[in-house]
Each structure stands twice: as C-alpha cells, then as structure tokens.
Chain A
Amino acid sequence: MEAEEFLLVRDLFRSFAGRFRIGSADEVKPSPRAAAQRALAELGLGELRRSSPPAATVQECALLAEEHGRQPLTTSLLGTVLLAPELLRVLGAGRRSDSGTTATVALARDLRFPRADTSELVAWDCEGADSALCVTPDGAVTQAELGPLAPSADLLRGIRTVRSPQRIIGRLDAPGHQHWQAYALVMVSGELVGAAREFVELSVGYARERRQYGQAIGEFQAVQHLLADATVALEACVSATRYAAWCLDNEPPERALTAARVAKAEVNRSTVEAVQAGMQVFGGIAQTWEHIAHLYLRKVLLGATVLATTADLLVPLAEPEVTR
C-alpha cells in the first residue's frame, strides 16, 4: 500500500477499535461480541491480501495485528481476517472456503501448531467463524465444522472444539508451508507486542500521575528501572517482529521462518515480563477483576503458548539451519 493508504486503513481500524474496546471483563458478552465482529468484517480487511500481488504487505498486516492487540477487543482479527484468508491464498490463487462461510484456523488442543494426531483440535480465535482450517505437519489442509465453546484463560479470545470428520481441501508445498507458519507466528507476535506496548504505556502514564509519600511514584528509581526494563524488552520484541514481517515480504520463506521463530521466542518471554512489570506499577488496583490489567496478562500469557512455546523454539534454534 502507499504510505497514505496504509495510514487511512490504520485510522479506520483505530476508530473501530476505539468504538468496540471493552472497559472490563464484565463486558465480555455474546451479543456485543457478535456485533463487534460484524463491524470488523465490514471493514473488509480480509481482502487486503486477496489480490495478486497482495495489496498489503505482511509488515502492514503485522502492524494491524499490533493495533488490534493494543485494545481489549473481543474480535477475531487474527483467526478470521488474517490467518485463514492467508492460508487459503497460499493454498491456491483465488481459493476461498465454502461460499458464505467464514473460516478461522484449527490448532492442537494446547494451542500449538497441529501435530500428526489431529483427533483433538480446537478452532482458535473463532469469533464469527463457522469452520476451521487445519494444516497438518505434512502440509495437508483440512476443513471442519465447529463444536461447542471450549474454556480458555484468555477472556477476549473465543475458542471452540472442532468436529470430525475433517475434509482435505488441499496441500501446501514445502515453501508454502514455511511461509504459512512464519506468517502465523508473525501475526500472533504482532498482536502480543501491541498488547504489551499498550499496557506498558498505560502504566508509564499511571506512574506519572499516581502519588505516594507525597510524590509521583514515577519519580522513584525502583519504579523507573522496572519500566525501563519493560521498555527494553518491548523494543526487542518490536524490532524482531517487524524484521520477521519484512523478511516474509522480501526473503525466502526459509529465512523468514527462522526470523519468525526468533520473534516468537522473544515475544513469548518479553511481553509477559513487560505486562507483569506494568501490573507491578499499577499495584493493588491491577489485582482486581474490574481493572483491564488481567485482560492483558491473560492475552500475553496464553499467547506465549500459541503456535510455539519457548521450549518448542529454543532447542531447534540451537542448531544451525540445514543448508541445501
């Protein structure tokens, strides 16, 4: 997209996010959720990469994921707008899921990438979705219908079980599979970065205002260093995620996948650390149900397990890439 065009799309998205963000966990309710998802669908962002070549770069999509993460939103941007459409695009030009249906992605029950045994899958980030696409380790893509809601610690993100049988709708070649994995890792990372950034910014603002012992708590060096460390952790996440997104636009998928794994490994650790630091600054108020802190904490905590955990990533990254 041209720079101005991207800013327009972003502003459009920001006004949507400002309108539908929730103020506390009590506002997570089915009917406003559905309304917010319909409003998101109306923005038409799912079309962004449907043209050939795609109108939006991966980096631009990652920035939108970041925007979505910033606000407590109950909508499915990742699953239904970014991930499933990209999977269908990679699968074959112009391919869509069954007409009239909206797909999200299916993950293993523990939310990691599906493994060989696909008997127990969940539809992740399923608000507004009526089917789920699963990519098996050998690159086969299956589609299945959705079952009932499954419980999750992340109150903002809908998860449902997936019904059998799944039918095979196509197969990714090796570069396509790598691209898909890298893309998914980058979008999830982007959303988590947005959440952690927003929450740290909120806590910095709070540290300037909140007074104890007759002064702003942000004057205390102990508080300053906590927030400085959170900032360093966040900037590392921003650099890694944005670079990985850029690699998807400009480098071979193999290189992009390494960069995406690196980004997710950094994000898994650092966004949780940053949100925890922010909560420490908010103090007692952040321990309550009403406060939005736990919405952010839940998102990054669960997000750190989505697709690939730190343990999944670090051991493979310890060895050099196999050279062809």
Chain B
Amino acid sequence: MTDTPLDFGDPADLDRLRRDFRAWLAGHPLPERRPDEPLPVFLHRWHRQLHSGGWVGLDVPERYGGRGLSALHQVAISDELGACHAPGIPRIGYLAHALMEFAGEDQRRRWLPRMLAGDDVWCQGFSEPGAGSDLAGMSTLATRHDGHYSVRGQKLWTSYAQYSGLCLLLARTDRGAPAHRSITAFALPLDRPGVTVRPLRAMNGDDEFCELFLDDVRIEESERIGAEGDGWPLAMTTVSYERNALDTGHISKYGLLVERLRRVARDRRGELPDGLLSEIGRCFVDYEVLVAHARRRTAERLGGQAAGPESSIDKLLMTRTEQRLYETALKVFPGELHEEGGELFGDYLYSRAASVYGGTSQIQRNIIAKRVLHLPSLSKPPNPGAT
C-alpha cells in the first residue's frame, strides 16, 4: 500500500458536507456551560445538540441511526469543530465499531441508535487493578447460571462511569481457558444492584477516572455481546480504533495550541531563546506529520484496509506530539506554573497520561515488534548478561 501513490485529498462530497455543517453550526452555536456544570454533563448537552442536526455517527449505517457515510465524513466534522474551538464529537466511534462487529442484529438495533442520540451514555470497563496493560490477567468473573450470569470483580480507569448508564464490560467466563478464548463482553446497566461506582481524583483535579465494584451483579444472557469468548477479539478491535489517529478528536486541539505557540514566536521574536524557537518549530513539525499521517490512514481506510496493529504506530506518534507540545507550551507560558487551576497546566498534566492510557507506549512497541514486524516471541526465559 505504501509503495504506490496515495490520494491525500478529500472526496468531492466532503466539501459540501463541511459547508452544510458550517451553515448548521451558525444557527446552532455551542451552548454556554452553566456555572458548576460538570464537563461531561455539558458535553452531553452538546452531543445531543449535534445529534439533533444529524452530525453524530455519520459512518454508522442508517438502520442503526447513523447516516451510512464513511469514517472520513465523521473526521471532517471533527475537523470543523476543532477549527472553531468547539469540543469534538463525543468519542463513541470505537464503541460503535465494537457493537457493529460483534453484537447481534437485535442488540445493534437496540443500542446503537440510543448510543448515537446520547440517550444511553456508555463507558468502557476493561482495565482492572491487577490487569492494566495485560488484559489476559483479568480476574473479574462472570459465572453462568440458567439464562443469566453473576459477575464479581473490580474495574479501574473507567472514564466517566459516574455519568454513564451502560458499561461495555469484559469478564472471564472460563477461569481455565486461555485469555483469548475465555473473555466475554457484556452491556451492563450501571444501575443494577451490586454495582458501585467510585470516582478517582486525577492529578489534574478532574474526576474522569472511576473504580467500578461488581458484587454478584446479575447480567442477562441477552446482554452478552457476541458469543462467550468474543471479548478478546472485541477488545482488540476496540483498541485498534481507539489508538487510530483518525478516530480521536485530539488532532485539531493540538493544532490550535501549536498555532498559539507560533503566534507567540512571531510576536515575541528576538525575546525567546533560539532553543525554544526550535522547540516550537519541532512541535509544528510533529503536528503536521501527524496530520499527514492521519490523512494517509484515511486514504488506506478508503482503500479498504481495516484498522489493525499498525494503529500502535499512530498512538506513539500522537503521544510524541502531545507530550512535546505541552512540555513546550509550559516553557512558552511559564506563568501557568504559578497560577491556581491554569488550564494549560491541567492539560500538561493530562498529557503525561498519553503514554499510559489506551495501552502504554511499551505495550505499543511490543505490538509493533510482534504484529507489524513479525519478530519472534521469546522461546525461553532470557538470561543474557548473567554471570
């Protein structure tokens, strides 16, 4: 694919979509955030407003509440939102993909339209205290009874569970079998008896991440997604889309900050040390490379290539861009370090998580080595360097 010419351009109908969206946006601007309104609640209102105009789930088939267009169309909307400083589309694309690929037809019809409309807010219950990077180490257990399951265990890093109604939950349905055959996915309503959600305060002060305690929670068989054992491939699909440069709304956010830094470079020419100017230039290069890379992935996706292990490359490129950008921004605006609740400083703190969430950078390197480069797996415990 990379040895033949690629088309980095927008398909013809995209221009029209962008113009339509801009016209709609002019009549339906971003609402005001109410004082003390938690961010997720505010974003949820925004989500519903966007959905009312038909701007959510453009790449989801019409029978599931979408518009049956391509991923590229959804990306164009994210671009437009970023360009006018508005928050992006809620990040449901990767959950929707998981349901489209693994859920039964009646489940898709039940969940997808409500997910797109914002009637149901979903969170993702994958990680556990004892299984962060290593999903195979998962110990939450779903024991099968007659027509239902009983689930026991604990989840961690479940983003915004306190504002969610449903959780895409992974649990083991067979303690004995290897992970890729024994993990099963469920749609768990979070108001079930036995579910406890406890927000964790992150270092930036936000309470995005939650702990989820599951004490003999009853889950119906009809709430199982796919077959028993489908949880592993479902998780792999989800994270491939999650790591993909296209399906995240981050890029436009980086672009705005890069331009802000470049304007400072121009306005304070002669004041900033050369070293810092180079760093700003490097941030611009990182950002532009990421944009080019995302466009290339779009071209590949349109050429019929599904998101796969090479999305780990995308994730590492995004991490590189984000972390250097916020490090540099703090050097350009050192006052942020001496302010209470500075927004930029908060974003800097959040950028430190980029190399941890969605699979650590080390895990991404393992994936690239094994699944992209096809390097061999360890055949025996290593002992090099031992005397």
Q: Which residues of A contact B (CB under 8 A)?
A: 3, 6-7, 10, 57, 59-60, 63, 204, 207-208, 212-216, 218-221, 223-225, 227-229, 231-232, 235-236, 238-240, 242-244, 246-247, 250, 258-259, 262-263, 265-266, 311, 313-320
Complexed CA–CA distance, A275 and B171 (Å): 43
| 0 or 1 for each of B228-243: is its CB under 8 Å from A? (1 = yes) | 0000000000000000
User: Using a CB-CB cutoff of 8 Å, which residues 353-387 of chain B contact chain A?
Assistant: 362, 364-366, 368-370, 372-380, 382-384
Partner of B293, one of A218, A223, A235, A244: A235
Q: Is the CB of B278 within 8 A of A314?
A: yes
Q: Is the CB of A232 within 8 A of B313?
A: yes
Chain B contacts for A266, CB-based, 8 A:
285, 289
Chain A contacts for B7, CB-based, 8 A:
246
Q: Is the CB of A240 within 8 A of B289?
A: yes
* Closest chain B residue to A59, Cβ basis: B5
Chain B contacts for A242, CB-based, 8 A:
2, 6, 8, 292, 296
Beyond A212-B384, A219-B377, whether A246 also contacts B6 by CB under 8 A is: yes
| 0 or 1 for each of B93-112: is its CB under 8 Å from A? (1 = yes) | 00000000000000000000
User: Using a CB-CB cutoff of 8 Å, which residues 26-45 of chain B contact chain A?
Assistant: none
Shortest CB distance A61–B (Å): 10
Q: Is the CB of B362 within 8 A of A225?
A: yes
Shortest CB distance A221–B (Å): 7
Q: Which residues of B contact A (CB under 8 A)?
A: 2-9, 259, 261-263, 265-266, 269, 274, 277-278, 280-282, 284-285, 288-289, 291-293, 295-296, 310, 313, 316-317, 320, 362, 364-366, 368-370, 372-380, 382-384
Partner of A216, one of B5, B317, B370, B376: B376
Beyond A265-B285, A311-B278, whether A3 also contacts B296 by CB under 8 A is: no
Complexed CA–CA distance, A243 and B373 (Å): 24
Q: Is the CB of B296 within 8 A of A215?
A: no
Could you give 26 example pairs across A and B, Cβ below 8 Å?
A6-B5, A57-B5, A214-B380, A215-B382, A219-B378, A223-B375, A224-B370, A228-B364, A231-B372, A232-B317, A238-B2, A239-B292, A239-B293, A240-B289, A244-B292, A246-B8, A259-B292, A262-B284, A262-B285, A262-B289, A263-B292, A265-B282, A314-B285, A317-B281, A317-B284, A318-B284
Chain B contacts for A212, CB-based, 8 A:
384
Q: Is the CB of A239 within 8 A of B289?
A: yes
Complexed CA–CA distance, A219 and B377 (Å): 5
Chain A contacts for B379, CB-based, 8 A:
215-216, 219
Complexed CA–CA distance, A313 and B362 (Å): 31
Partner of B5, one of A60, A221, A318: A60
* Closest chain A residue to B319, Cβ basis: A232
Complexed CA–CA distance, A259 and B285 (Å): 9
Q: Is the CB of B313 within 8 A of A250?
A: no
Q: Give me 12 other A-B pairs in contact (C-beta within 8 A), A232-B313, A265-B281, A318-B284 excluded.
A: A60-B5, A216-B376, A232-B316, A232-B320, A238-B2, A238-B296, A242-B292, A243-B295, A246-B8, A314-B285, A317-B281, A320-B263
Q: Is the CB of B378 within 8 A of A239?
A: no
Partner of B4, one of A63, A208, A259: A63
Q: Is the CB of B292 within 8 A of A228?
A: no
Q: Is the CB of B278 within 8 A of A231?
A: no
Complexed CA–CA distance, A74 and B111 (Å): 62
Q: Is the CB of A215 within 8 A of B295?
A: no
Shortest CB distance B318–A (Å): 11
Specify which of A263, A313, A314, A315 lies most central, judged by the most chain B CB atoms within 10 Å of its CB.
A314
Beyond A240-B292, A317-B285, whether A246 also contacts B9 by CB under 8 A is: yes
Chain B contacts for A259, CB-based, 8 A:
288, 292
Beyond A63-B4, A266-B289, whether A320 also contacts B375 by CB under 8 A is: no
Q: Is the CB of B277 within 8 A of A262?
A: no
